[in-house]
Amino acid sequence: MEGRDLLRQHRVAIDEACENVMPDSWHGHARLAIRKSDAVPSSIENEAIAKASSIADNTGVSPERAANKLISKIAEKRDN
């Protein structure tokens, strides 16, 4: 499990390094929003990222907006 956490940290660091120079259409914004969210458990993080990317691609909204909507839905389910 330690190797998996190290890889995750590396991926987050790369996304954070690119965050300020990438356009709104960059899917890294969604990855960061989901990985930084307290509402999304790490066990479903990758699934949530894939779903947010799919929503963004299919609806034309920004990946970050799709991720934030998904995060809200996950938090709502968790709180009910």
Residue with tokens 């995060």: 71
Question: What is the mean pLDDT, run by run of 10 residues, along the chain of 80 residues?
Answer: 83 94 95 95 95 96 97 92
What is the per-residue pLDDT for 73? 96
For residue 60, the enclosing domain spans 2-79
What is the per-residue pLDDT for 69? 97
Closest CA to 31 of 14, 21, 43: 14
What is the per-residue pLDDT for 1? 58
Identify the DSSP state of 39. S
What is the per-residue pLDDT for 80? 81
Structure token pair of residue 53 = 């990317």
CB 5 within 8 A of CB 38: no
Total number of domains in the chain: 1
